[in-house]
Amino acid sequence: MAVSKQQYVVDDKGNRVGVVLDIKDYQKMLAELEELESIRAFDVAKSSGDIAIPFEKAISEIERKHK
Protein backbone atom coordinates (compact mmCIF):
# COMPACT_ATOMS: atom_id res chain seq x y z
CA MET A 1 0.00 0.00 0.00
CA ALA A 2 1.60 3.23 -1.11
CA VAL A 3 0.71 6.30 0.90
CA SER A 4 1.18 9.48 -1.09
CA LYS A 5 1.86 11.77 1.85
CA GLN A 6 2.05 11.42 5.58
CA GLN A 7 0.02 13.68 7.83
CA TYR A 8 0.22 13.51 11.60
CA VAL A 9 -1.82 14.85 14.46
CA VAL A 10 0.45 16.35 17.09
CA ASP A 11 -0.09 17.39 20.68
CA ASP A 12 0.81 20.82 22.05
CA LYS A 13 4.42 19.67 22.53
CA GLY A 14 4.77 18.53 18.91
CA ASN A 15 4.62 14.81 19.72
CA ARG A 16 2.93 12.69 17.08
CA VAL A 17 -0.26 11.27 18.58
CA GLY A 18 -2.23 10.31 15.48
CA VAL A 19 -2.19 9.96 11.75
CA VAL A 20 -4.50 11.16 8.98
CA LEU A 21 -5.22 8.55 6.29
CA ASP A 22 -6.93 8.77 2.93
CA ILE A 23 -10.24 6.89 3.26
CA LYS A 24 -9.25 4.47 0.48
CA ASP A 25 -5.99 3.64 2.27
CA TYR A 26 -7.92 3.15 5.53
CA GLN A 27 -10.48 0.83 3.91
CA LYS A 28 -7.73 -1.19 2.23
CA MET A 29 -5.88 -1.50 5.53
CA LEU A 30 -9.05 -2.76 7.25
CA ALA A 31 -9.64 -5.32 4.48
CA GLU A 32 -6.06 -6.56 4.72
CA LEU A 33 -6.31 -6.79 8.51
CA GLU A 34 -9.51 -8.85 8.22
CA GLU A 35 -7.78 -11.19 5.77
CA LEU A 36 -4.80 -11.54 8.12
CA GLU A 37 -7.14 -12.39 11.02
CA SER A 38 -8.79 -15.08 8.88
CA ILE A 39 -5.41 -16.56 7.98
CA ARG A 40 -4.38 -16.63 11.64
CA ALA A 41 -7.67 -18.27 12.66
CA PHE A 42 -7.18 -20.89 9.94
CA ASP A 43 -3.63 -21.59 11.12
CA VAL A 44 -4.83 -22.01 14.72
CA ALA A 45 -7.67 -24.32 13.67
CA LYS A 46 -5.37 -26.36 11.45
CA SER A 47 -2.78 -26.83 14.19
CA SER A 48 -5.38 -27.75 16.84
CA GLY A 49 -5.51 -31.37 15.70
CA ASP A 50 -9.31 -31.39 15.72
CA ILE A 51 -11.07 -33.44 13.08
CA ALA A 52 -12.78 -31.27 10.47
CA ILE A 53 -16.40 -32.01 9.64
CA PRO A 54 -18.61 -30.49 6.93
CA PHE A 55 -20.41 -27.28 7.92
CA GLU A 56 -23.86 -28.79 7.37
CA LYS A 57 -23.06 -31.70 9.70
CA ALA A 58 -21.83 -29.31 12.38
CA ILE A 59 -25.06 -27.30 12.16
CA SER A 60 -27.13 -30.50 12.40
CA GLU A 61 -25.27 -31.59 15.51
CA ILE A 62 -25.65 -28.18 17.16
CA GLU A 63 -29.38 -28.07 16.39
CA ARG A 64 -29.84 -31.63 17.69
CA LYS A 65 -28.13 -30.74 20.99
CA HIS A 66 -30.37 -27.67 21.49
CA LYS A 67 -33.65 -29.58 21.08
Tens of pLDDT, residue by residue over 16-51, are: 999 999 999 999 999 999 999 999 998 998 888 888
Tens of pLDDT, residue by residue over 2-17, are: 656 789 999 999 999 9
Identity of the residue numbered 61: E
Residue 10 β-bridge partners: 16
Asked whether the predicted pLDDT for residue 1 surpasses 60, the reply is: no
Which residue in 29, 37, 30 sits closest to 3, CA to CA? 29
Distance CA(8)–CA(64), nearest Å, equals 55
Domain range summary for the chain, segments of one domain joined by + = 7-65
Q: Of residues 52 and 14, which shows the higher confidence score?
A: 14
